[in-house]
Amino acid sequence: GENVEQHPSTLSVQEGDSAVIKCTYSDSASNYFPWYKQELGKGPQLIIDIRSNVGEKKDQRIAVTLNKTAKHFSLHITETQPEDSAVYFCAASMILSGSARQLTFGSGTQLTVLP
């Protein structure tokens, strides 16, 4: 099955600085790569995603890049704010039977933005 590795496990940045989280995946059948943000006591929430036919996607202060050859993808957050503090999970997804998708998560990165 799919295996997703995520680094770093913890990341502290000063407010206004950038944060980068990196992931690798193992199965070339994966073709959809979402990023989820999980705040304390809540379920994960999708913040951005990228499909395998795209190399980069940006949404305001958040961007994702994908290198299919190397099986790497990354999350970039610019101009970080205290409300960005949370646990971030990368994931890799592939189609199973029919239209059902299988989603495998990384181990998470605790991001702390220091005021």
Partner 1 sequence: EAGVAQSPRYKIIEKRQSVAFWCNPISGHATLYWYQQILGQGPKLLIQFQNNGVVDDSQLPKDRFSAERLKGVDSTLKIQPAKLEDSAVYLCASSSRQNTGELFFGEGSRLTVL
DSSP state of 79: S
Residue type at 47 in one-letter notation? I
Q: Considering only CA atoms, which of 5, 34, 11 is closest in space to residue 87?
A: 11
Asked if 63 interacts with partner 1 (CB under 8 A), we say no
Q: Which of 41, 53, 69, 83 binds partner 1 (CB under 8 A)?
A: 41
Count Cβ atoms below 10 Å from residue 56 Cβ, excluding itself: 11
Which listed range, 12-20, 37-45, 68-76, 77-85, lies at the site for partner 1 (CB under 8 A)?
37-45
Which listed range, 14-22, 35-43, 58-66, 69-77, lies at the site for partner 1 (CB under 8 A)?
35-43
Asked if 68 interacts with partner 1 (CB under 8 A), we say no
Residue type at 87 in one-letter notation? V
Tell me how far, at minimum, the Cβ of 77 lies from partner 1, in Å: 19
CA 80 to chain centre: 16
Tell me how far, at minimum, the Cβ of 100 lies from partner 1, in Å: 4
Residue type at 88 in one-letter notation? Y
Q: Which of 69, 70, 99, 115 binds partner 1 (CB under 8 A)?
A: 99
DSSP state of 56: E
Asked if 114 interacts with partner 1 (CB under 8 A), we say no
